[in-house]
């Protein structure tokens, strides 16, 4: 059954992460749509897609929304769409864009990071040659992004291990995915060689420091996303203390998987 659109005042359309941050609004496209709206009004054949039951947040149509604002259009056509969760809504938004045009490498990088953050990625095990292997998850994601499974795995490596400078250069279009991937792997090999060259105790200290920094970074990113997406929610001190206690308990259990040194022989 075809969904019917509604007319909504432009000020009632809300935007929020991650949807508003996935794709760049191209000035030339925005200018064309704005000119069209100034002459003909909002084209109801292209309604904005809002997530019903999630505050009506805008999932698809950010360029059209901005064009309507620039053109002085007050009422826009919208369709309320039901999604099971944020991952499903993300996949819908990405599919809409990839069907319309080729995504830039920077957009693919952002989309992949958002997707992988919200699902357990069935990554294949590493091989000794560091060869990129495309598993079932990569194939599905590649179809969604309109690219190859190999490129998806390279982008995943870049997201996980590249320096901020490499990721920024790729996003700006200054370097290709292959170059960004090769540079990332070169840095990783240099780090591995450094670890092998230093004394065992120094290597251990470096790995412990890296683990600490990465865990703190992941938690910080997750908290920042929670604040962005649910700014209206406030928590009590007791609720925060209980959450911290549960997180510490979970991290402690996970840390139990770190390999222990062999017990020293204390027999005299």
Give residue-wise pLDDT tens across range 203-244.
778 778 888 888 888 888 888 878 877 778 889 999 999 999
Name the residue with tokens 């969760």: 85
Res. 117 pLDDT band, cuts 50 70 90? confident
pLDDT score for 264: 47
Predicted confidence (pLDDT) per residue in 54-66, tens digit: 778 999 999 999 9
- Identify the domain boundary among 51, 72, 101: 101
Same domain for 95 and 1: yes
3-state secondary structure of 260: coil
Lowest mean pLDDT among 28-32, 67-71, 131-135, 263-267: 131-135
For residue 122, name the pLDDT band (cuts at 50, 70, 90). very low
34 class by beta-carbon count within 10 Å (0-12 exposed, 13-18 middle, 19+ buried): buried
Which domain, by its residues, includes 31?
1-101
Question: What span, in angstroms and rounded, lies between the C-alpha atoms of 23 and 101?
Answer: 12
pLDDT for residue 144: 93
Residue 129 pLDDT class (50, 70, 90 cuts)? very low
110 occurs within a structural domain: yes
Taking residues 25-29, what's their average pLDDT? 93
When pLDDT is cut at 50, 70 and 90, the band that residue 110 belongs to is: very high
Q: Is 87 inside a domain boundary? A: yes
3-class DSSP state for residue 76? Answer: strand
| pLDDT on residue 137 | 73
| Within-domain flag for 217 | no
Distance CA 75, CA 29 (A): 21
Asked if residue 253 is part of any domain, the answer here is: no
Residue 65 shares a structural domain with residue 32:
yes
Mean pLDDT calculated for residue range 135-164: 88
- φ/ψ of 69, rounded to 5, equals -65, -45
Cβ–Cβ < 8 Å for 229, 222: no
Indicate whether 146 pLDDT > 50. Answer: yes
């Amino acid at each position: 059954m075809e969904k019917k659109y509604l007319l909504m005042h432009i000020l009632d359309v809300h935007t929020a992460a991650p949807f508003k941050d996935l794709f760049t609004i191209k000035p030339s496209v925005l200018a064309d749509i704005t000119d069209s709206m100034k002459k003909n009004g909002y084209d109801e054949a292209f309604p904005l897609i809002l997530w019903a039951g999630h505050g009506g947040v805008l999932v698809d149509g950010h360029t059209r929304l901005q064009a309507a604002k620039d053109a002085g259009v007050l009422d826009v056509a919208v369709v309320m769409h039901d999604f099971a969760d944020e991952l499903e809504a993300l996949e819908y938004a990405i599919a809409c864009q990839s069907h319309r045009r080729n995504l830039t490498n920077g957009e693919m990088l952002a989309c992949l990071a958002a997707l992988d953050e919200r699902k357990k990625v069935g990554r294949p095990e590493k091989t000794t040659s560091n060869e990129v292997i495309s598993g079932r998850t990569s194939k599905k994601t590649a179809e969604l992004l309109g690219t190859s499974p190999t490129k998806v795995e390279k982008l995943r490596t870049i997201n996980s291990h590249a320096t901020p400078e490499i990721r920024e250069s790729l996003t700006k279009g200054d370097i290709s995915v292959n170059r960004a991937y090769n540079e990332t792997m070169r840095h990783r090999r240099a780090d591995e060689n450094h670890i092998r060259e230093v004394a065992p105790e120094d290597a251990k200290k470096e790995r412990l420091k890296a683990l600490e920094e990465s865990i703190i970074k992941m938690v910080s990113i997750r908290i920042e996303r929670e604040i962005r997406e649910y700014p209206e929610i406030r928590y009590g001190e007791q609720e925060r203390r209980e959450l911290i206690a549960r997180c510490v308990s979970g991290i402690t259990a996970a840390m139990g998987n770190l390999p222990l040194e062999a017990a020293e022989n204390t027999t005299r």
